[in-house]
A and B are shown apart, each in its own frame.
Chain A
Amino acid sequence: SQTIHQWPATLVQPVGSPLSLECTVEGTSNPNLYWYRQAAGRGLQLLFYSVGIGQISSEVPQNLSASRPQDRQFILSSKKLLLSDSGFYLCAWSFSQGYEQYFGPGTRLTVT
């Protein structure tokens, strides 16, 4: 069976500091991978998705970037965090585009 991991679970960072959130998937090959941000326990905002190694599509221009250095590893980064980057970050995977997505446990980021 497939599992998805995210770390860290929680993070408190000062404004202007860098960020690196990691997501890994086990039990499947060449998954589609996604990064979402969720504000105030409500809807999901798609930030990035990837259909393969080194292939990243950005949905919303912002202070963040994503990379996929390995087939089942997806990283969300920032060089300098803003207060507005605070939120709950979720990674998800799917077998392919057009299939249901499976989510990781999330990372709560607080920028102070």
Chain B
Amino acid sequence: TQLLEQSPQFLSIQEGENLTVYCNSSSVFSSLQWYRQEPGEGPVLLVTVVTGGEVKKLKRLTFQFGDARKDSSLHITAAQPGDTGLYLCAGISGEGKIIFGKGTRLHILP
């Protein structure tokens, strides 16, 4: 069974600090997505990474796909209260199935 482990489960930091959250697996994925979900709403797709070693930037968010396409990280620079939410990673297997991690709940304190 393919699993995606996200760490940490919870993170609470001050506004302006930097942070990194991780998404790890022992399995290879053809692509990986990151979503952000706010309370009471559906997850919103932030990015898809496809190539091993790929780095994508979305304003203050930097996403990296591991060289072996088994893991990914999300780095946020100068976190702001608007970054608060549940961050979910999802990997798509070679068979086309999508597998979600359980998420990292991020809280940015003003």
Determine whether A63 belongs to the interface, using a CB cutoff of 8 Å to chain B: no
Please, which residues of chain A bring their CB within 8 A of the CB of B42? 6, 90, 92, 103-106
- The 8 A CB mask of A85-107 against B (1 = contact, 0 = none) is 00010101010111111111110
In whole angstroms, how far apart are the Cα atoms of A98 and B44 in the complex? Answer: 18
Of chain A, the residue at the smallest CB distance from B42 is A103
Count of residues in A whose CB is under 8 Å from the partner chain: 21
A100 near B86: Cβ-Cβ < 8 Å: no
Question: On chain B, which size bracket covers the interface?
Answer: 20 to 34
Q: How far is the CA of A94 from the CA of B16 in the complex (A)?
A: 36
A105: B residues at CB distance < 8 A = 41-42
A43 within 8 A of B: yes
Interface of A is mostly: loop
Q: Does B96 contact A (CB under 8 A)?
A: yes
Would you give the shortest CB distance from B41 to chain A, in whole angstroms? 6
22 A–B pairs (Cβ distance < 8 Å), ordered by A? A6-B42, A41-B39, A41-B86, A41-B103, A42-B86, A43-B102, A43-B103, A90-B42, A97-B96, A98-B92, A100-B31, A100-B33, A100-B45, A100-B48, A100-B90, A101-B33, A101-B45, A101-B90, A101-B98, A102-B45, A103-B43, A106-B41
